[in-house]
Amino acid sequence: MHKLISLKKVIFIVITFSSLSWAEKYSSEISVGIGMNNISFAEIESIVNDPTRNSGPIEGTASIITADVRYKLFPSNKLDYFVRLTGPLLTSGGNSYFGAHVGASYYFVNSGSKFKHNDEGNTLTFTPKLRIFAGLEVGTEYLIYAEEDVKKENDLIVDVGIHAGASFNVFKNWSVMPTIHVARGAGAKTTTLNMQGVLNFVYFFKGFGRSSL
């Protein structure tokens, strides 16, 4: 009899958690923003072989105001997967930057996504007011750079980085989200350290797949 009661408890717990998993539906989000990129670069000495130059390998910093667009998909309320695209808005000194990255974030404070929970016919919608998160990303950069008497050069770079940020809900489906990104990269001509600060405006919307709203 005791074993039968224990078995019923296990079955009840499994069914309960299973139903909760299917009942919760998470939103996706899209955001646009403006950021500041500071990219420190150094040419690799072994590949610089231009007789027209008056100097050897160069080092410098490119400071660029960029536009940022990203899409986030939530497989759970604590995790997101994202795609992020970055391009120049204002450049100086002949420097420019384009970036494409994919990554994931874990949410330490509150749910990462706005979500709905269905309970016996009643639907409850939860919108996180404050979110704090951090994660990893990998991607490519296309860097155009110039220093003093060196003509414009360009390089395609692969980088790996970390990021952290917070999101503050301001109205229903809208939030503001400051983030910082730091990445180390290497290309055919250069190595880079990219530090970026971004302020994004976030919109929650119905996403794709079973877990979307």
Domains of the chain: 2-205 (2.40.160.20)
Under DSSP, is residue 96 helix (H, G, I), strand (E, B) or coil?
Answer: strand
- Report d(CA 180, CA 112) in Å as an integer: 17
The distance of Cα 107 from the centroid of its chain, to the nearest Å, equals 13
Q: pLDDT grade, residue 8 (50/70/90)?
A: very low
pLDDT of residue 209: 42
Instruction: Return the top range by mean pLDDT from 4-8, 63-67, 87-91.
Output: 63-67
Mean pLDDT over 88-111 rounds to 90
- Which stretches of 91-208 are assigned E, i.e. beta strand? 96-109, 115-119, 122-126, 130-147, 150-171, 174-187, 190-205
Both tokens assigned to 147: 């220093």
- Phi/psi at 58 (5° precision): -110, 160
* Rg of the chain in Å (alpha carbons): 23
Q: Among 56-60, 104-108, 124-128, 176-180, where is mean pLDDT lowest?
A: 124-128
User: Residue 69 burial by CB count (10 A; 0-12/13-18/19+): exposed, middle or buried?
Assistant: middle
Please report which confidence band the pLDDT of residue 150 belongs to, taking 50, 70 and 90 as the band edges: low
Q: Which residue has the higher pLDDT, 76 or 123?
A: 76
How do strand 96-109 and strand 115-119 relate by DSSP bridges? unpaired
From CA 92, how far away is CA 190, in angstroms rounded? 19
Q: How confident is the model at residue 48 (pLDDT cuts 50, 70, 90)?
A: low
**Residue 208 in tokens:** 């794709």
